[in-house]
Amino acid sequence: MATAPETLGSGSSSSGPSGGTRLEGNRLLQTLSRLLLREQAPRSWIIDPRDEMLHYSIWQQFGERTEGLVQYFYSGWLAAGVYEALVKWQRQRQGTEPTILDFASGYGRITRYLLNTLRADQIVVSDIQPEAVAVQREQYGVGGFPSAHEPEALDLAQSFDCLFATSLFTHLPRHRFESWIGQLGRLVTPRGLFVFSVHDEAVLFGGRSMPASGFHFEEMSESEVLAFKEYGSTWVTEAFVAKTLRAHFPHPYSYTRIPRGLWHFQDLYVVSRDAATDFSSLWVPRPPEGYLEECRQVDERTLKLSGWAVSHQASAPPQLRVFLNEELVATARPDGQRARIASPHGQPPGWEVLCSLPAGRTIDPGDSLCVLCEEETGTQGLIHLTTIQGAAFKMAARDHQEQRARSALKVSGLEAKLKECNERLLAEEDLGRRLSARVHAMEASRFWKMRKAWFKLKKGLGLASSERPPGPPVPELDS
């Protein structure tokens, strides 16, 4: 087994390898480690400044770096729990320690946790960015090799008992999606596992609809270094995945799907190279999930909090535990349908709690606020971890974002009406042009010249008759 994890210190930050930053002095990360991660804390708190997952985490937290760091380490911990459960299951199946390939592994957001339960010589990492592979090899002592843009260019003789490719197929265009399924499948041992994640059609957003093909790709992603046409955003149906496996994955095989098995958002597909695999004993952790909708200071020593929370692997709703500066100040359970913020679970059970400090103590904006949810099995999830001031900023930023979204919808509605008016105006202008052209054509015709001569003759003769001159009737215009 690997050595013990680094201890979170209280000193200031200092430079680490590969230009990274040591994060031991971060108070919120200390809280995350002591209240949730505990013995599962990462082997290293060093993050390379080029890590795009860090940049994305900070963006998710409205640009707040400290909260982004919490998000980064928490998401890595969630994914590592899934990896470790699958490795454990494979170990029981084959009776020996499995070899691991984490494909598209980035700068080690997950690797730093895997070293708690696996030896470094069991783990190989790969990424399209060679510098990311170099950082992991240097920092964690794992094996590694650069990936390739084209699947056919990846020439590797080694095979692996567990091959993970999470958050890769969520970004690939169709031809690469299909090709990588086949190429990576050939790197799995005869009884090994290929584990990958996708965006299912259930999480397709913004009024979009899934094409009949079961595959939808858009040129947008969080990547700052990869072209969107090569690394965008992808959604698929299970029927499309099954068809792709049949056409491209080495036979024989069997698979199971775990809806929202990764980060409560991505579906997991576990594919075995053994057609007779029984997946009934497979279990992967999915901690309870929640959201803090409101954080309001009632008085100098009381906060009012509300939100929603759900259990995924327990029958009862999770218990909420609220900490101020790591001191437990309140507990609650969801008890009503009061969720205000849009949730992937429809209307999940809401909760509300008043948190009061003892008399003589007051709430400070710099106090840390941590909200955890815990299932009856003891499995915990993180709902919120910021300072009080950070929570207020986050609520305000989210409300501003919602207001902008509502304004965008309103503007979109107005633009639709303006478009309709413009189309009607263009249609009327077209009709006017057609009428004008018809009149000009009539005036240039022999009949029209005879008509004008007839009226001129009538006027000269002093005739007042309104009789129309002989000739064909004036044609009616089409509408």
252 preceded by a cis bond (ω within 30 of 0): yes
Three-state SS string over 49-65 comes to: CCCHHHHHHHHHCCCCH
The overall average pLDDT reported for the chain is 86
Q: For tokens 């494979």, what's the residue?
A: 90
Bridge partner residues of 125 (DSSP): 102, 144
Please report where in the chains the tokens 């029209």 appear, as a residue.
Answer: 448
Which H or E run contains 414? Answer: helix 388-443
Q: Find how far residue 82's CA is from the centre of its chain.
A: 18
Least confident of 5-9, 216-220, 353-357, 438-442: 5-9
Task: Say yes or no to pLDDT of 6 above 90.
Answer: no
Answer whether CATH 2.60.40.10 is correct for domain 289-388: yes
Tens digit of each residue's pLDDT (9 = 90 or more) over 228-253: 888 999 999 999 999 999 999 999 99
Q: How far apart are CA 55 and CA 230, in angstroms?
A: 20
Contacts of 110 (CB under 8 A, 6+ apart): 76, 79, 80, 83, 102, 166
Are the CB atoms for 110 and 78 separated by under 8 Å?
Answer: no
Architecture of domain 17-272: 3-Layer(aba) Sandwich (3.40)
The pairs formed by 276-285 with CB atoms below 8 angstroms and a separation of 24 or more are: 279/254, 281/89, 282/86, 282/89, 282/256, 283/85, 283/89, 284/81, 284/82, 284/85, 284/86, 284/258, 285/81, 285/82, 285/85, 285/313, 285/379
Per-residue pLDDT at 62: 86
> Of 14-18, 104-108, 281-285, 291-295, which gets the smallest average pLDDT?
14-18
Give me the residue spans of the domains in the chain: 17-272, 289-388
What pLDDT, on the 0 to 100 scale, is given for residue 221?
83
Residue 210 confidence (pLDDT): 96
Quote the pLDDT of residue 70.
Answer: 96
pTM over 0.85: no
Percentage of the chain surpassing pLDDT 70? 84
What percentage of residues in the chain have a pLDDT greater than 90? 65
Helix (H) or strand (E) holding 194: strand 188-198
CA distance 54 to 66: 11
pLDDT at res. 15 = 39
Beta bridge partners of 320: 332, 373
